[in-house]
Amino acid sequence: MRILIVEDDLEAAAVMVRGLTESGHECLSAADGEAGLGEARQGEFDVMIVDRMMPKMDGVTLVETLRREGDQTPVLFLSALGEINDRVDGLKAGGDDYLVKPYAFAELIARVEALARRRETGSVQTLLRVGELEMDLIGRTVHRQGREIDLQPREFQLLEFMMRHAGQAVTRTMLLEKVWEYHFDPQTNVIDVHVSRLRSKIDKGFDRPMLQTVRGAGYRLDA
């Protein structure tokens, strides 16, 4: 995957380039909005990562300009501005996702790869539903029977993966690789701890459990 990173913080950009390159992606970076616009016009990219606040041209103006020119490359906004109105402004400008700083690098990679998959399928899924459980991927909210459930970032990632595989038995290996990005078993109970916390949040106080343990296999989210 070819990724354009538009970020004026050179250290932060270098970290992203290194991490994404190590994950097998090709990266190009630009240090301000005008340079980013020039790179975007000259090359074809699968995803763009754009900081909102930059010199010469801010990220929102950059994306609005590209959209007017017909460029539909998926854009992930990065910003320290995390209020609802800030996220809405970024999405209205043409952004496809919004990640607030500071962030976990594993989540950055997961979101970038998700944007690339959505582009391949030609559709952007922003809402997941399994029975009475609903997840808003843009607002980063989860509700069950209308009641909001507060999740930590890793719990959100875990639940998103399980919702995308609802009704299926999800193994520890699958969770380690897709949620924690471990391609080996660290021999810890990290999965069990997070699943237990997630179960207490989405099932406690409701009539029936949705997150089930499949003996000898793993876990299953069942509507």
pLDDT in tens, 88-142: 777 887 888 888 888 888 888 888 888 887 766 555 567 888 889 999 988 889 9
- Residue 221's pLDDT band (cuts 50, 70, 90): very high
Over 90: is that where the pLDDT of 30 sits? yes
What length is written for the chain? Answer: 223
Q: State the virtual CA torsion across 147, 150, 153, 159 in degrees, nearest 10.
A: -40
| pLDDT score of 82 more than 70 | no
User: Average per-residue pLDDT in the chain?
Assistant: 87
Domains of the chain: 2-121 (3.40.50.2300), 127-221 (1.10.10.10)
What pTM value is reported for the model?
0.54
CA–CA distance, 135 with 128 (Å, rounded to integer): 5
In this predicted structure, the answer to whether residue 196 has a pLDDT above a threshold of 90 is: yes
The pLDDT of 75-86, averaged and rounded, is 79
How far apart CA 87 and CA 68 sit, in angstroms, is 20
